[in-house]
């Protein structure tokens, strides 16, 4: 896999926001934390959001993972179907302002169903996550849940990011079209496979079916291939350890107008640890966006 082109600075007046795709295990944590300074200083990201539902050995998020991501400069965290896999995270979900659970769980489920992050110049970004319903555990309607959450945002929250954590590409496209003009971006997570369909919808919503994974790519969705194969061929329960090799970060950036909340550019990143080090050492500004 060759690295994708990295973009130049955002156009005047636009804010760049980055969503890091599902962080898987220690390798994912390592590259995500290492990438943040580059995202901030060279990619000029004003807000860095990470989906961290697989950070804890491949499933869930521990308190120490949350702290580490925040200490390294991640601004906000979304989760997915593994939200409660590590129960200790419930306290963080209930007390911290910069982490949300999926919005379409029962209202009694621990954690917040939306968050607002304030940037410089009092610019506010509203963030919502929702789960899909195809090949996943039953949950409430994600379309109605996202509607409800978008309605709850104060009118001053013009930039709105929706992380739709779902399996079916059709559902994700439908959500993106449904939100066109009402969300600044709808970016998909959960499949761990990045899709090459990043685009701007006519109403100004930046869209990508799935941002992909941040973790070991010599694997099956981040887990050791041998273990997944053994479990599949033998039908026996086999622990799915997190793989180690070919660590990459998949992330998506979009540039948004803080006045209108509409996006004007979107692009994908697919960075290995080697290419990240090279980019961090580069003195020159990044190449122009192709
Ligand atoms: Fe995931
Ligand atoms: Fe997931």
Q: Which domains does the chain have, with CATH numbers?
A: 15-281 (3.60.21.10)
Q: Which ligand is nearest to the CA of 54?
A: 1
pLDDT of residue 4: 77
Contact 202, 183 (CB under 8 A): no
Among candidate residues 95, 82, 25, 16, the one with its CA nearest the CA of residue 49? 16
User: If you measure from the C-alpha of residue 107 to the centroid of ligand 1, how many angstroms do you get, rounded to a whole number?
Assistant: 23
User: If you measure from the C-alpha of residue 71 to the centroid of ligand 1, how many angstroms do you get, rounded to a whole number?
Assistant: 22
Question: What span, in angstroms and rounded, lies between the C-alpha atoms of 74 and 214?
Answer: 14
pLDDT of 2 above 80: no
Q: Record the tokens describing residue 38, joined without a space.
A: 């580059």
pLDDT of 289 above 50: no
User: If you measure from the C-alpha of residue 163 to the centroid of ligand 1, how many angstroms do you get, rounded to a whole number?
Assistant: 12
User: If you measure from the C-alpha of residue 53 to the centroid of ligand 2, how many angstroms do you get, rounded to a whole number?
Assistant: 7
pLDDT band at 5 (very low <50, low <70, confident <90, very high): confident
Q: Catalytic pick from 82, 165, 190, 192? A: 82
User: If you measure from the C-alpha of residue 24 to the centroid of ligand 2, how many angstroms do you get, rounded to a whole number?
Assistant: 11
pLDDT of residue 281: 84
Q: Which ligand is nearest to the CA of 193?
A: 1
pLDDT of residue 228: 97
Q: Can 82 be counted among the known catalytic residues?
A: yes
Question: What would the pLDDT profile of 92-120 be if each residue is shown by its tens digit?
Answer: 999 999 999 999 999 999 999 999 999 99
pLDDT of residue 290: 34
Among candidate residues 109, 108, 168, 179, the one with its CA nearest the CA of residue 144? 179
Among candidate residues 61, 89, 75, 38, the one with its CA nearest the CA of residue 249? 38
pLDDT of residue 283: 61
Neighbours of 285 (CB within 10 A): 11
Q: Which ligand is nearest to the CA of 56?
A: 1
Q: Which ligand is nearest to the CA of 28?
A: 1
**Mean of the per-residue pLDDT values of the chain:** 95
User: If you measure from the C-alpha of residue 190 to the centroid of ligand 1, how many angstroms do you get, rounded to a whole number?
Assistant: 4
Question: What is this structure's pTM?
Answer: 0.96
CA dihedral 264, 112, 148, 116 (to 10 degrees): -30
The H or E element containing residue 271 is strand 263-272
User: If you measure from the C-alpha of residue 211 to the centroid of ligand 2, how many angstroms do you get, rounded to a whole number?
Assistant: 12
User: If you measure from the C-alpha of residue 166 to the centroid of ligand 2, how many angstroms do you get, rounded to a whole number?
Assistant: 7
Angstrom distances, CA of residue 6 to CA of 67, 105, 251: 28, 36, 11
Q: Which ligand is nearest to the CA of 250?
A: 1
Mean pLDDT score, 219-236 = 97
Question: What span, in angstroms and rounded, lies between the C-alpha atoms of 131 and 142?
Answer: 6
Residue 286: strand, helix, or coil: coil
Question: What would the pLDDT profile of 240-288 be if each residue is shown by its tens digit?
Answer: 999 999 999 999 999 999 999 999 999 999 999 989 988 888 865 554 4
Beta bridge partners of 159: 125
User: If you measure from the C-alpha of residue 22 to the centroid of ligand 2, how many angstroms do you get, rounded to a whole number?
Assistant: 8
Helix residue ranges per DSSP H, 141-188: 142-152, 169-179
Question: What span, in angstroms and rounded, lies between the C-alpha atoms of 130 and 269?
Answer: 23
pLDDT of residue 62: 98
pLDDT of residue 279: 86
The H or E element containing residue 20 is strand 15-20
């Amino acid at each position: 896999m060759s690295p994708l082109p990295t973009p130049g600075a955002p156009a005047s007046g636009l804010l760049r926001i980055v969503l890091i795709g599902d962080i898987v295990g220690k390798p994912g944590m390592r590259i995500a934390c290492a990438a943040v300074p580059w995202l901030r200083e060279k990619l000029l990201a004003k807000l860095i959001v990470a989906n961290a539902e697989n950070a804890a050995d491949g499933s869930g998020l521990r308190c120490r993972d949350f702290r580490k991501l925040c200490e390294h400069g991640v601004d906000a965290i979304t989760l997915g179907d593994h939200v409660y896999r590590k129960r200790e995270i419930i306290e963080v979900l209930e007390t911290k302002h910069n982490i949300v659970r999926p919005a379409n769980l029962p209202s009694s489920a621990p954690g917040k169903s939306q968050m607002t992050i304030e940037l410089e110049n009092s610019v506010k970004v509203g963030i919502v996550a929702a789960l899909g319903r195809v090949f996943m555990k039953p949950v409430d309607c994600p379309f109605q849940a996202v509607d409800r959450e978008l309605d709850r945002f104060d009118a001053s929250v013009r930039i709105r990011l929706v992380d739709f954590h779902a399996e079916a590409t059709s559902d994700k496209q439908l959500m993106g079209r449904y939100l066109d003009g009402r969300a600044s971006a709808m970016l998909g997570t959960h499949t761990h496979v990045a899709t090459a369909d990043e685009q701007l919808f006519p109403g100004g919503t930046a869209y990508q079916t799935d941002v992909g994974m941040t973790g070991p790519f010599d694997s099956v969705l981040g887990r050791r291939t041998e273990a997944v194969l053994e479990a599949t061929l033998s039908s026996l329960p086999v622990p799915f350890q997190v793989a180690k090799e070919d660590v990459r970060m998949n992330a998506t950036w979009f540039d948004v107008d803080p006045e209108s909340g509409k996006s004007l550019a979107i692009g994908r990143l697919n960075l290995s640890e080697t290419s990240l080090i090279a980019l961090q050492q580069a003195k020159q500004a990044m190449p122009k966006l192709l």
